[in-house]
């Protein structure tokens, strides 16, 4: 039975029967999820061996509910294979505040919806205040204090941290510090009377409902220091995408987004019928966030190990370091996802390009392929106008 037959069988209540293998599934079962995961329900016969779980949906996480918004996270606790990166999905209401705080891990963000105002200072006291909107990124280096406020539209974003062990529930918050410092010390530190602190919160606020801020110029402190030399925000959608015959990609790493020294990212769009071609990354494991559409990915882990996963909107995916993989659009709409790396740069190696740069007779000898394959399939996409080397996509 072919993959396509598997998928069309998903119309009714499917059973895990693949030709002469398998048997009916009389339950208990979750038919909705079975149908969402056709390549896990009946794996391609090329799958083999034990591979770590490489998928976790934000729909399966605990949501922290607060005045002013909510947050939920996928960390090494939810997806144990992901020791490099962790993520938080957060929504802020108009005027919703993620309070002034800092943490050990660097924080990268992609704005999914709405607008927000972000603030920070760096270790030399240089200032940063900016308004961000859908498609914008930010990056706060390790230890840099920052805040986020939803503007008139509110805001939703995905935060990515450069350590899988991060938790949004254990950050250093300004209210928490005030609550746990003797008031006579606070008075001495700020040169005021202790009564100034009669009404401070008695613990961490984390998030709260505040007022929608006014125009950015009207709200800046009067004695603002010089700005940080490399802005902590970045307009990803203003980057010219690298277009291929099956989709496009925008890359942001420390080459163009100078501040982002520990996290590299690619916003990938694959057209229906297209596939992000077979490749691997020589620098780091890949962490993924699926923004739109449906996909399947098979990872190849050497020693005959391979496993296929299905992904959809709101899923986190992962590719262990060096594992070969493709990402295929299996839906009817463009597939949009983030490829993220704990690295200062994006890098990948295309199987196709590798083969095209190897003596042809040698390739034929390895794989028992003929001249027809060599002529049709292999071509070197040099893309001299492209700043980054990036493997292409293959459409149908």
Q: Is 279 left (phi over 0), alpha (psi -120 to 50) or beta?
A: beta
Stretch 330-389 residues interacting with Mn ion (CB under 5 A): none
Residues labelled as active-site residues: 339
CB nearer to Mn ion: pick between 286 and 315: 286
Residues 6+ apart with CB under 8 A from 6: 18, 38, 39, 41, 42
- What 3-state DSSP class applies to 351? helix
CA-CA distance, 180 to 287, in Å (whole number)? 37
Strands (E) in 181-271, as ranges, are: 207-209, 233-235, 242-244, 247-252, 264-270
Residue span binding Mn ion (CB under 5 A) among the ranges 67-75, 84-92, 181-189, 284-292: 284-292
Q: How far is the CB of 147 from Mn ion (least distance, A)?
A: 9
CB nearer to Mn ion: pick between 271 and 286: 286
Contact residue for Mn ion among 253, 286, 315, 328 (CB under 5 A)? 286
Q: How far is the CB of 153 from Mn ion (least distance, A)?
A: 21
**In Å, what is the CA distance from 200 to each residue of 148, 179, 186, 212, 240?**
20, 7, 11, 21, 48
Residue span binding Mn ion (CB under 5 A) among the ranges 194-202, 220-228, 236-244, 281-289: 281-289
308 within 8 A of 298, measured Cβ to Cβ = yes
Q: For the window 104-143, what string marks contact with Mn ion as x by the rule CB under 5 A?
A: ---x------------------------------------
Q: How far is the CB of 282 from Mn ion (least distance, A)?
A: 11
Residue span binding Mn ion (CB under 5 A) among the ranges 45-53, 246-254, 280-288, 289-297: 280-288
CB nearer to Mn ion: pick between 107 and 315: 107
271 within 8 A of 395, measured Cβ to Cβ = yes
- What 3-state DSSP class applies to 256? coil
Number of residues that bind Mn ion (CB under 5 A): 2
CA-CA distance, 107 to 87, in Å (whole number)? 9
CB nearer to Mn ion: pick between 41 and 323: 323
193 within 8 A of 130, measured Cβ to Cβ = no
Q: How far is the CB of 196 from Mn ion (least distance, A)?
A: 27
Q: How far is the CB of 325 from Mn ion (least distance, A)?
A: 6
- DSSP-derived pairing of the beta strands 96-102 and 172-173: antiparallel
* 277 is a contact residue toward Mn ion (CB under 5 A): no
CB nearer to Mn ion: pick between 34 and 307: 307
| Residues binding Mn ion (CB under 5 A) | 107, 286
């Amino acid at each position: 039975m072919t993959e396509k037959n598997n998928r069309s069988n998903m119309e009714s209540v499917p059973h895990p029967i693949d030709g002469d293998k398998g048997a009916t599934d009389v339950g208990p079962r979750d038919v909705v999820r079975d149908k969402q995961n056709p390549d896990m329900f009946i794996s391609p016969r090329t799958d083999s061996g034990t591979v770590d779980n490489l998928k976790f949906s934000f729909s399966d996480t605990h949501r922290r509910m607060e005045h002013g918004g909510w947050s939920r996270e996928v960390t090494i606790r939810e997806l144990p294979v992901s020791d490099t990166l962790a993520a938080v999905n957060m929504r802020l209401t108009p005027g919703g505040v993620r309070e002034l705080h800092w943490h050990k891990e660097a924080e990268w963000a992609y704005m999914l919806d709405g607008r927000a105002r972000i603030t920070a200072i760096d270790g030399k006291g240089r200032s940063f205040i900016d308004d961000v909107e859908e498609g914008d990124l930010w990056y706060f280096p390790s230890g840099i204090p920052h805040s986020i406020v939803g503007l008139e539209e509110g805001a939703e974003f995905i935060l990515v941290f450069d350590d899988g062990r991060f938790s949004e529930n254990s950050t250093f918050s300004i209210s928490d510090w005030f609550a746990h410092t003797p008031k006579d010390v606070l008075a001495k530190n700020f040169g005021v009377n202790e009564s100034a602190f009669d009404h401070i919160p008695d613990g961490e606020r984390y998030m709260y409902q505040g007022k929608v801020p006014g125009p950015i110029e009207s709200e800046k402190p009067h004695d603002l220091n010089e700005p940080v030399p490399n802005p902590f925000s970045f307009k990803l959608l203003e980057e010219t995408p690298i277009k291929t015959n099956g989709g496009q990609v925008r890359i942001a790493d420390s080459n163009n987004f100078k501040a982002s020294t520990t996290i590299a990212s690619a916003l990938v769009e694959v057209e229906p019928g297209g596939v992000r071609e077979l490749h691997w990354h020589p620098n780091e494991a890949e962490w993924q966030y699926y923004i739109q559409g449906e996909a399947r990915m098979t990872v190849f882990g050497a020693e005959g190990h391979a496993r296929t996963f299905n992904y959809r909107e709101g899923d986190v995916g992962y590719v262990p370091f060096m594992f070969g993989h493709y990402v295929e659009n299996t839906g009817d709409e463009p597939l949009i996802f983030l490829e993220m790396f704990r690295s200062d740069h994006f890098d990948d190696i295309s199987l196709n390009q590798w083969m095209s740069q190897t003596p042809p007779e040698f390739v034929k000898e390895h794989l028992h392929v003929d001249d027809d394959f060599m002529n049709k399939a292999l071509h070197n996409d040099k893309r001299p106008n492209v700043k980054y080397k990036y493997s292409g996509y293959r459409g149908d």
